[in-house]
């Protein structure tokens, strides 16, 4: 482990990644929220930012503290960098009485994701299982993920809508990163950096200013422990699938009465992977030679009425059936499909729900035993 200066060390890290040819994506304060986008230097990253979250509410405060990672994520997630919301899959042209396809060019640079939390590295792991299945790996996703460099961050100040500890996670990431940063504000303000891979180790050797001491190690543990104790487990994690109520529970109707079926929860979810393919014909395209169509893949949502269309009619025509589909998929059927729960406990669906529907509260009712532990 190494110690980095929160200003110069972070800047050195960003610049080293840029020098190594990465497209570095990190947190930026823009339009009053945290978004993820291209960063060129350490100065681009937030400073003194804290975030207050509750069901249906997300507020950002900036003060004069020098902290770099005191915020929690906004609606944006890393999903859109490895699995874009709108991407061209291929182009098809009529050629010699048949057709020929061309794929769009590969990304020119590999991604470096800077600032991923434990929920977010686990969300990438969930997407990997879905989209890089052994039978039909998604070549576009696999290509983007193959060289992605992940700089993860320990969550020092979780929000009230965080429930990673209910989902087998915690504030300190255990895997899925090349470098893990933990920001320590007790004593000298510093970042403790630990490698999670050989390339992470090599990079740290170039930018670290001093090896970490026993005291640094202890401080990292203390940051994680304090964050963990601020968010007691509220759901029984891996046991949820067997405990969740059946399809006929009256509470499904109760939630549906509040749900707007707006699809916000699925759009902000870092693991929701539903998509739709559409073919856009170039204007005037017909069977004439040279006509071209573009196949595009876009995010879709199980809350959309046409998502379940069968012969022109939706199978899930009511909000109740769509909410039930979403929650049972996240918490019950996902493990059978992909060997992992679909929820990582990041809290986005709850924070960004315009009706303030709290997944944990609804799941607790549907589990029947009530929430375990207190509500923060």
Partner 1 sequence: MGTLADLRSIPVDPLEPIPYRVVELVQETVDVITVVAAPVGQALPPAQPGQFMLVWAFGVGEIPISVSRMAADGRVMLTVRAVGQVSGAIVGLQVGEVVGLRGPFGTVWPVAEVLGADVVVVAGGLGLAPLRMAIDALVQPDPRRITVVVGSREPAQRLYPGDLTGWAEQGASVHETVDTADREWHGGVGTATTMVERLHHPHQAAFVCGPELMMMSAVRALAQQGVPTDRTWVSLERNMHCGIGHCGRCQLGALLLCRDGAVVRWDHVEELMEVRGR
Footprint of partner 1 (CB under 8 A)? 89-90, 92, 94, 97-99, 101, 103, 128, 130-133, 135-139, 142-143, 145-148, 197, 247-248, 273-279, 281, 285-287, 291, 293, 295, 297, 300, 302, 307-312, 315-318, 320-321, 324-325, 328-329, 332-333, 336-337
Q: How near is the Cβ of 324 to partner 1 at its closest, in Å?
A: 8
Cα gap 337→271, rounded to integer Å: 14
Pick the closer one to partner 1 by CB: 36 or 141: 141
Pick the closer one to partner 1 by CB: 229 or 276: 276
Q: How near is the Cβ of 313 to partner 1 at its closest, in Å?
A: 11
Pick the closer one to partner 1 by CB: 43 or 279: 279
Pick the closer one to partner 1 by CB: 315 or 369: 315
Q: How near is the Cβ of 45 to partner 1 at its closest, in Å?
A: 24
Q: What is the DSSP string of 74-114?
A: -S--THHHHS-SEEEEEEEEEETTEEEEEPPPPPSS-EEEE
Cα gap 40→16, rounded to integer Å: 10
Pick the closer one to partner 1 by CB: 68 or 307: 307
User: Of 266, 268, 238, which Cα lies nearest the Cα of 58?
Assistant: 268
Q: How near is the Cβ of 38 to partner 1 at its closest, in Å?
A: 22
Q: How near is the Cβ of 318 to partner 1 at its closest, in Å?
A: 6
Buried b (16+ CB within 10 A) or exposed e, 286-314: eeeeebebbebbebbbbbbeebeeeeeee
Contact 114, 14 (CB under 8 A): yes
Q: How near is the Cβ of 195 to partner 1 at its closest, in Å?
A: 13
Which two tokens mark 47?
Answer: 């400073």
Pick the closer one to partner 1 by CB: 90 or 233: 90
Pick the closer one to partner 1 by CB: 224 or 269: 269
- Residue 43: strand, helix, or coil: helix
Enclosing H/E stretch for 146: helix 139-146
Contact 59, 160 (CB under 8 A): no
10 Å CB burial of residue 370 (0-12, 13-18, 19+) is exposed
Cα gap 353→359, rounded to integer Å: 10
Q: How near is the Cβ of 69 to partner 1 at its closest, in Å?
A: 23
């Amino acid at each position: 482990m190494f110690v980095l200066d929160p200003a110069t060390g972070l800047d050195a890290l960003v610049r080293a990644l840029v020098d190594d040819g990465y497209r570095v994506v990190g947190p930026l304060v823009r339009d009053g929220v945290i978004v993820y986008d291209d960063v060129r230097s350490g100065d681009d990253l937030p400073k003194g930012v804290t975030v207050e979250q509750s069901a249906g509410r997300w507020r950002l405060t900036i003060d004069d503290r020098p902290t770099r990672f005191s915020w929690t994520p906004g609606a944006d997630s890393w999903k859109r960098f490895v699995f874009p919301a709108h991407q061209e899959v291929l182009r098809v042209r009529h050629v010699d009485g048949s057709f020929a396809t061309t794929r769009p060019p590969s990304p020119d640079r590999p991604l470096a994701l800077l600032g991923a939390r434990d929920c977010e590295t686990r969300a990438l792991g969930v997407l990997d299982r879905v989209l890089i299945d052994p039978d039909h790996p998604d070549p576009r996703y696999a290509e983007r993920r193959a060289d992605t460099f992940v700089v993860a961050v320990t969550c020092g100040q979780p929000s009230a809508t965080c429930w990673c500890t209910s989902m087998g996670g915690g504030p300190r990431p255990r895997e899925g990163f090349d470098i893990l940063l933990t920001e320590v504000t007790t004593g000298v303000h510093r970042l403790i950096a630990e490698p999670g891979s050989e390339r992470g180790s090599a990079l740290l050797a170039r930018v670290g200013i001093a090896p970490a001491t026993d005291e640094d190690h202890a401080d990292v543990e203390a940051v994680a422990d304090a964050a963990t104790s601020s968010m007691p487990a509220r759901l029984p994690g891996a046991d949820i699938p067997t405990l969740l109520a059946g399809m006929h529970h009256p509470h499904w109707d109760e939630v549906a009465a509040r749900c707007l079926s707006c699809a916000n929860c699925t759009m902000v979810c870092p693991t929701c992977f539903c998509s739709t393919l559409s073919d856009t014909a170039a204007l005037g395209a017909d069977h004439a030679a040279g006509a071209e169509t573009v196949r595009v893949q876009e995010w879709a949502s199980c809350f959309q009425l046409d998502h379940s269309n069968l012969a022109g009619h939706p199978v899930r025509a009511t909000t109740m059936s769509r909410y039930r589909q979403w929650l049972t998929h996240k918490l019950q059927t996902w493990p059978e499909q992909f060997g992992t729960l679909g929820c990582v406990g990041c809290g986005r669906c709850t924070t960004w729900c315009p009706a303030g529907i709290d997944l944990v509260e609804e799941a607790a009712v549907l589990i029947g035993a009530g929430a375990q532990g207190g509500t923060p």
